[in-house]
A = this chain, B = another copy of it.
Amino acid sequence: MAFPVLVSFAGGASGRWRVERIAPLRGDSLALVRRLEIVEGREAQPAASAVWVLRGATGHERYVTRTEHQALAERQAPLGRPHATRAALIPVRKSEAWWDLSQDERRAIFEERTRHIGIGLEYLPRIARRLLHCRELGEPFDFLTWFEFGADDVAAFDELVARLRGTEEWRYVEREVDIRLTREPP
């Protein structure tokens, strides 16, 4: 794990990814935009014309054990694969009730009862994923998750997020927006 990297997702008129759909699942949506630009680093600035910018930092694992880490590391895929022309950006905010739980209680809900890691593993390496943390940054969301996959894996991705949304962990989600994107093949 390198030092945390700040990643900014800027919705506006420019950017490599075309926005196909912005669906508010819980709480307020985000303004509809045509394109999404992704920039990395604290010095980098998204286009000034951006309508909204969501920022998050990469970081260490919060709930994963060493055994689970190994299983994930063996199967996970990198971002930027040529065939991965579909993506999703899913910003989530959890409730105060979640953050009031102690670490052992959050872990029990996250994996022992929800099987968040176990469910995710079933979809690797088809679906590549990057998790950004933003609760400490004063952002409107607690997490941003970015997913990339091929056109053939859209149904699998829909299944993955539907399964997670039915879990005990998701009862603590108070805001969630599901943004779907496409890009031209390289």
Q: Are B137 and A102 in contact (CB under 8 A)?
A: no
Q: Are A4 and B69 in contact (CB under 8 A)?
A: no
| Chain B residues with CB under 8 A of A65 | 102-104
Q: A4-B138, A61-B102 are in contact. List 18 more A-B contacts (CB 8 A).
A: A3-B96, A4-B136, A6-B138, A42-B138, A57-B136, A59-B135, A60-B99, A61-B103, A62-B103, A63-B103, A65-B103, A65-B104, A66-B101, A68-B102, A69-B102, A103-B107, A134-B136, A136-B137
The distance in angstroms between the C-alpha atoms of A103 and B62, with both chains bound, is 6
The distance in angstroms between the C-alpha atoms of A61 and B104, with both chains bound, is 10
Q: Are A1 and B105 in contact (CB under 8 A)?
A: no
Interface string of A48-73 (1 = CB under 8 A from B): 00000000010111111110110000
Count, chain A residues at interface, CB 8 A: 32
A74 beta carbon closer than 8 Å to chain B: no
Query: What is the interface of chain A, defined by CB distance below 8 A to chain B?
Result: 1-4, 6, 42, 57, 59-66, 68-69, 96, 99-105, 107, 133-138
Q: Are B135 and A137 in contact (CB under 8 A)?
A: no
The distance in angstroms between the C-alpha atoms of A107 and B99, with both chains bound, is 18
The 12 sampled A-B contact pairs (Cβ below 8 Å) are A1-B100, A2-B96, A42-B138, A57-B136, A61-B102, A64-B102, A64-B103, A65-B103, A66-B101, A66-B102, A66-B104, A66-B105
